[in-house]
Amino acid sequence: MIANLINQLENICKEAEIEIASIASLAQLNEINIKFLGRKGLVSKLMSEMRNLSPEDKPKLGQKANEVKGKITEILEKKEVELQASEDEEKIKKDKIDVSLPGTQQKIGGLHPLTQTINEIIDIFVHLGFTVEEGKEIEDEWHTFDALNIPKSHPARDVQDTFFVKSSPEIDCSDNQTVLRTHTSPVQVRVMQNSTPPLRFIAPGRVYRNETIDASHYSMFHQVEGLYVNENVTFAELKGTLLAWAHAYYGPEVDLRFRPSYFPFTEPSAEVDVTCTMCSGKGCSVCKQTGWVEILGAGMVHPNVFKSVGYDPEKVSGFAFGMGPERIAMLKHRINDIRLLYENDTRFLKQFV
């Protein structure tokens, strides 16, 4: 009886040895452990025969069982080390990084061409000693028109051009309705109301006009307003400031041309052209063969504007200007349709990154 049981134990051990030799993964290792050494495993099952043995045979079987268990455990452990090592090796092979391979290029965004243009315009004026101010896009008629010497009868106030904001019936009936500002000039009024001369600032921002949209018109666009107020400000200073700006922006070879014009809030007023940078002033389709392109309006601040903010026009004088960054950006980048600036087509935008 005991000899038979010991023989069976030896067979179990051999069987285990063969099975362990043939396994290929750590998961299988556990299954084999359970099959041979588990609580209901082959060795334990055999040990239930113990109670049928004589007292002197019992320890013999116990001893053999421990020997077999020890042996199987030892083979399992050895196999585990082997399998672990080869699995680690596999993993290292799979995860190996070739540091000499080119990386995946990350796409980074860029500033909108118009934002770039506005930032460049601002930078130059900041270097010329101008501060940067902000006004309100939703304005009232007084700041947008009346205070700027634009009378009620002026065509610019027409509903055709101006977006009126219906905020309440009370405001709608008043003669100071809420509007979307049609230009950045009301910032002049707001800043002057809140400070005393001398002052020198630019005010970039959005403006709105009830325009029919086409290649050169949009219902929302930008302006950069400028104002300098001090004692004895001259038109020569206006010319010098704008020329210094143009040389910094376009290069020292460009010139400016001041054409007499009319704006209600300046007297005298001028429309200002810069040498066409496409043809260096020789004449081309962009400048319609004139050699010049218009980029801004300017002039000496009208006494009525000073009066409306409580400044004494006998004591102070000043110059103002307003430029159109859309036009400046379009000329610079040869963009022939203003709508491209607002469609957010990445095929267009990524040319400027």
Shortest distance in whole angstroms from residue 102 CB to ligand DAH: 51
Shortest distance in whole angstroms from residue 262 CB to ligand DAH: 10
Per CB under 6 A, 150 contacts ligand DAH:
no
Helix (H) or strand (E) holding 217: none
Per CB under 6 A, 266 contacts ligand DAH:
yes
Shortest distance in whole angstroms from residue 311 CB to ligand DAH: 16
Cis peptide before 268 (omega within 30 of 0): yes
Yes or no: say if 159 and 210 are a contact pair by the CB < 8 Å rule: yes
Closer residue to ligand DAH (CB): 163 or 352: 163
Size of the site for ligand DAH (CB under 6 A): 11
Closer residue to ligand DAH (CB): 36 or 263: 263
Closer residue to ligand DAH (CB): 208 or 321: 321
Q: What is the dihedral of CA 74, 78, 83, 84, to 10 degrees?
A: 100
Closer residue to ligand DAH (CB): 197 or 299: 299
Segment 171 to 200, residues that bind ligand DAH, using CB under 6 A: 183, 185
Say which residue the tokens 């859309």 belong to. 326
Per CB under 6 A, 113 contacts ligand DAH:
no
Shortest distance in whole angstroms from residue 257 CB to ligand DAH: 16
Helix ranges restricted to H, the chain: 2-22, 26-37, 42-47, 58-95, 113-127, 141-144, 169-173, 186-194, 235-250, 303-308, 325-333, 346-349
Long-range contacts of 30-39 (CB under 8 A, 24+ apart): 32/76, 33/76, 36/12, 36/72, 37/69, 37/72, 37/73
For ligand DAH, the binding residue among 145, 218, 228, 263 (CB under 6 A) is 263
Shortest distance in whole angstroms from residue 298 CB to ligand DAH: 5
What is the Cα–Cα distance from 315 to 310, expressed in whole angstroms?
Answer: 12
Closer residue to ligand DAH (CB): 156 or 349: 156
What is the Cα–Cα distance from 63 to 74, expressed in whole angstroms?
Answer: 16
What is the Cα–Cα distance from 154 to 317, expressed in whole angstroms?
Answer: 25
Residues pairing with 214 in the sheet: 217
Q: Token digits for 216?
A: 């050169």
Closer residue to ligand DAH (CB): 28 or 261: 261
Per CB under 6 A, 299 contacts ligand DAH:
yes
Closer residue to ligand DAH (CB): 185 or 275: 185
Segment 215 to 234, residues that bind ligand DAH, using CB under 6 A: 225
Dihedrals φ, ψ of 315, to 5°?
-100, -35
Segment 308 to 347, residues that bind ligand DAH, using CB under 6 A: 320-322
Shortest distance in whole angstroms from residue 228 CB to ligand DAH: 11
Q: Which positions lie near ligand DAH, rule CB under 6 A?
A: 183, 185, 225, 263, 266, 297-299, 320-322
